[in-house]
Amino acid sequence: MFHRLISCLVVVLLTSAVFADRPNVLMIAIDDLNDWVEPLGGHPDVKTPAMAALAARGLTFTNAHCQAPLCNPSRTSLMTGLRPTDTGVYGLSPWFRALPEFKDRVTLPQYFQSHGYRTLIGGKIYHGGNGRGRDAEKECDVWGPNASVGAKPEKKLIPPTPGGNHPLMDWGTFPHRDEDKGDWQVASWAVDQLESMPDEQPFFLSVGFFLPHVPCYATQKWFDLYPDQTMTMPPLLPGDRDDTPESSWYIHWDLPEPRLSWLEANHQTRPLVRSYLACVSFVDSQVGRVLDALEASPYAGNTIVVLWSDHGYHLGEKAISGKNSLWARSTHVPLIFAGPGVPKDSKCNQPAELLDIYPTLAALAALDEPQGMEGISLLPQIEDPQRPRERPAICSHNAGNHSVCDTRWRYIRYADGAEELYDRNADPDEYDNLVAPGRDRLPFADVIAKLSQWLPTDERPLAAGSAHRILERRADGFYWEEKKIVPSERVR
Ligand SMILES: [Ca+2]
Ligand SMILES: [Ca+2]
């Protein structure tokens, strides 16, 4: 009995000694946030003071890209450390735990939990309610509130949208309070956790915000930041799709997110842009509430912060709104690290992938190197932001469709072999497809050969239960959500 007591005491003392120098982790995820944030400069008017302050005390990866331009596959990849091409998860279904081969895959929070961390998840980290059902206790120690829209108007604020007038497809302002929004409640939960965190364990706190995902509702004060008369519109080049291949339409063939043609016909382009900007600033204010609480807590000096978005969003660029593309507006995402070991006010333009977050956080926290990762730790770039990275950033949207970005080029290859190439230094808006049909491909053969080496091979078959936004190339043509694509029916 006495021996047991002593050995328990020794274990407690040892554990405290080990934990004492382990940094905590605060991971902030934002849904559908493109590069319209101050640290990335994607929109000249955008006001995101909290993210700017985080960038000032950390390192921003200015050339970071998601692995899939859609919630479920992107988050599955980030949290498991596997590419969509190796999970077969490309659609809004399945939840990867439903697949026998990933039932026990150790996710990012679970990896920290296995190293003695207390793990907490609030808001949208996994897609929808994933992880919160049966066996929820296996995913983390503490679940906070799920993501929600919160206050809604009595009826939609915009005209009925194509593709079934989806209830989420809406934007604008109406009388409500910031406190009644789902993201406010998620931020409040995170603040409460930081104020009452037990001291005996380091923590891994994941906080996922829903906005600026549609419906883009915000209170009037956030719209007032962007006066309609002076707000800058994104550059929308008429005819920009004239040089993109036919299959570039297949990857977003039929969606609830309206095309630019519908936005224009319904005078909704400016309202959408303004609502999106308002929501970006609102969500930034909620990031600020959480970061202020961290600053006021005993953990201010010993917490690694990482902020990311699961993918970007088009606001009319390339004739579409929404995600589901392989261009900059869909793949380019905020990725900011701050805290112990991270240089202040720094930028790194080397290609980075959301997939890299898992091994990077493990390295920053000095845990054993996680095995079986497809991401590569960004620690060398955190130590020296100028240090080159050989591997480009790869984004995949359904089997066979990939984009590859290095520090200069974006190369896209679709499942039917069609190609695009953009010189992002000379053409940051990716207007000019250098290898459009009829153009001389030869001057770019070397660049294409170099980038093509990184295209995923041996792609895993589509995961069982795949649904929603699934594109397949079959012997007799392309199928969108099980329905054969008839090219002449394309909605421009
Ligand atoms: Ca998303
Ligand atoms: Ca073009």
Q: Minimum-distance ligand to the CA of 147?
A: 1
Catalytic residue check, 127:
yes
pLDDT above 90 covers a percentage of the chain that reads 94
pTM for the full predicted model: 0.96
How many angstroms is it from 351 CA to the middle of ligand 1? 21
Is 175 contained in some domain?
yes
How many angstroms is it from 422 CA to the middle of ligand 2? 10
Is 176 contained in some domain?
yes
Q: Mapped to the 3 state alphabet, what secondary structure does the chain carry?
A: CHHHHHHHHHHHHHHHHHHHCCCEEEEEEECCCCCCCCCCCCCCCCCCHHHHHHHHCEEEECCEECCCCCHHHHHHHHHHCCCHHHHCCCCCECCHHHCHHHCCCCCHHHHHHCCCCEEEEEECCCCCCCCCCCCHHHHCCEECCCCCCECCCCCCCCCCCCCCCCCCCCEECCCCCHHHEHHHHHHHHHHHHHHHCCCCCCEEEEEEECCCCCCEECCHHHHCCCCCCCCCCCCCCCCHHHHCCCHHHHCCCCCCCCEHHHHHHCCCHHHHHHHHHHHHHHHHHHHHHHHHHHHHCCCHHHEEEEEEECCCCEECHHHEEECCCCCHHHHECCEEEECCCCCCCEEECCCEEHHHHHHHHHHHCCCCCCCCCCCCCCHHHHHCCCCCCCCCEEEECCCCCEEEECCCEEEEECCCCCEEEEECCCCCCCCCCCCCCCCCCHHHHHHHHHHHCCCCCCCCCCCCCCECCCEEEECCEEEECCEECCHHHCCC
Cα dihedral 167, 168, 171, 177 sign: positive
pLDDT in tens, 112-156: 999 999 999 999 999 999 999 989 999 999 999 999 999 999 999
pLDDT above 70 covers a percentage of the chain that reads 96
Is 454 contained in some domain?
no
Confidence band of 4 (pLDDT split at 50, 70, 90): low
pLDDT in tens, 298-336: 999 999 999 999 999 999 999 999 999 999 999 999 999
Is 154 contained in some domain?
yes
Predicted local confidence at residue 21, as pLDDT: 77
Predicted local confidence at residue 2, as pLDDT: 47
Is 307 contained in some domain?
yes
pLDDT in tens, 21-80: 799 999 999 999 999 999 999 999 999 999 999 999 999 999 999 999 999 999 999 999
Is 399 contained in some domain?
no
Predicted local confidence at residue 391, as pLDDT: 98
How many angstroms is it from 301 CA to the middle of ligand 1? 31
Long-range contacts of 379-383 (CB under 8 A, 24+ apart): 381/59, 381/61, 381/348, 381/350, 381/352, 382/59, 382/337, 382/341, 382/342, 382/343, 382/348
Q: Minimum-distance ligand to the CA of 430?
A: 2
Residue 255's CATH number: 3.40.720.10
Confidence band of 1 (pLDDT split at 50, 70, 90): very low
Is 411 contained in some domain?
no
Is 405 contained in some domain?
no
How many angstroms is it from 4 CA to the middle of ligand 1? 50
Confidence band of 492 (pLDDT split at 50, 70, 90): confident
Rounded distance between C-alpha atoms, residue 278 and residue 267, angstroms: 18
Q: Minimum-distance ligand to the CA of 313?
A: 1
How many angstroms is it from 42 CA to the middle of ligand 2? 19
Q: Minimum-distance ligand to the CA of 237?
A: 2
How many angstroms is it from 437 CA to the middle of ligand 2? 12
**Mean confidence (pLDDT) of the chain:** 95
**Structural domains counted in the chain:** 1
What is the residue range of 233's domain?
20-385
Mean pLDDT to the nearest integer, 456-480: 96
Q: Which is catalytic among the residues 43, 65, 66, 71?
A: 71
Q: Which is catalytic among the residues 115, 127, 252, 332?
A: 127
Answer whether residue 448 shows pLDDT above 90: yes
How many angstroms is it from 248 CA to the middle of ligand 2? 12
